[in-house]
Amino acid sequence: MSDGGRGRLVLVPTPLDFGVVDAGAAADLREVLPLGAIRWAARLGYWAAENAKSLRAFLKRVDAIEPLAQPLQAQHIVELPRPQKGAPRPQVPPPALQALLAPALDGHDIGLACEAGMPAIADAGAALVAAAHAAAIEIVPLPGPNALLLALAASGLNGQSFAFVGYLPVEAHARAARIRELEALSRRAGQTQLVIETPYRNPALLGALVSTLGSATRLSVSCGLTLDGGWTYSATVAQWRAAPKSIAADIPAVFALLAG
């Protein structure tokens, strides 16, 4: 609890293997998370989560290392409300967020967790963090894996100036136009552009990048980071074309480009 008598919103990292490997084959959490973050997770009894089932699976793995202060069945887990559709920037109704923060106003720390990795980064939890700031609730970010930064670090591309641009259009012509737009931006600013995709569309996106980008542009793909068999390959597009590489359609990946 913070000095003001209110609880805190604790941003709890999770491993990058949710939905990728079976629970029985998942790595020991200590291989991918700091012990301090694991201990924090064990102490918490109130949670806001993207997916309650995934969070319970995570807490079971925490309990195997650091016993939970409250049994799993006694954990108060509330799923984040879905953003409203149709708006240019989907918004979550403020009353829904305020309800999630009610335990903190009563003095309880609340954990925020996403499906995988760091909450509030490329994640709907950012709206809850903003609401917590508005309510003068202290934010405690815990260290842990972030696929975007891991991929950038492993890429060898410009780590001094970069942008995460999220998902590209699904329709082929719109996707190609967006790729050319990002390449032009990268060339003007010398800036690395980071992109993600739903895993089953990974092969289509990789194919579009290789066929659309200029031959001198550097393209880096990181797939399954922190998992057994995870890899990063960085090369010019000309090299990608000369020696095509396949990518799994069921494992998360991060794509990065830097125009030549």
Residue 95's pLDDT is what?
A: 77
> What does the pLDDT look like over 125-146, one tens digit per residue?
999 999 999 999 999 999 999 9
Question: What is the C-alpha to C-alpha distance for residues 62 and 40, in angstroms, rounded to an integer?
Answer: 10
Residue 28's pLDDT is what?
A: 87
Q: Mean pLDDT for each 10-residue chunk of the chain (260 residues)?
A: 80 88 73 96 96 94 96 94 57 75 96 93 91 95 96 98 96 98 98 96 98 98 94 98 94 96
Residue 168's pLDDT is what?
A: 97
Structure tokens at 150: 């891991």
Of 155, 154, 151, 173, the closest CA to residue 217 belongs to 155
Domains and CATH numbers, the chain: 9-141 (3.40.1010.10), 147-258 (3.30.950.10)
pTM (two decimals):
0.89
Residue 99's pLDDT is what?
A: 86
> What does the pLDDT look like over 51-81, one tens digit per residue?
999 999 999 999 999 999 999 999 999 999 8
Asked if residue 13 lies in contact with residue 37, where contact means CB atoms within 8 angstroms, the answer is yes
**C-alpha angle 128/131/136, rounded to 5°?**
125
Q: 140-153 burial by CB neighbour count: b if 16+ within 10 A, else e?
A: ebbebbbbbbbbbe
Residue 92's pLDDT is what?
A: 58
Residue 1's pLDDT is what?
A: 58
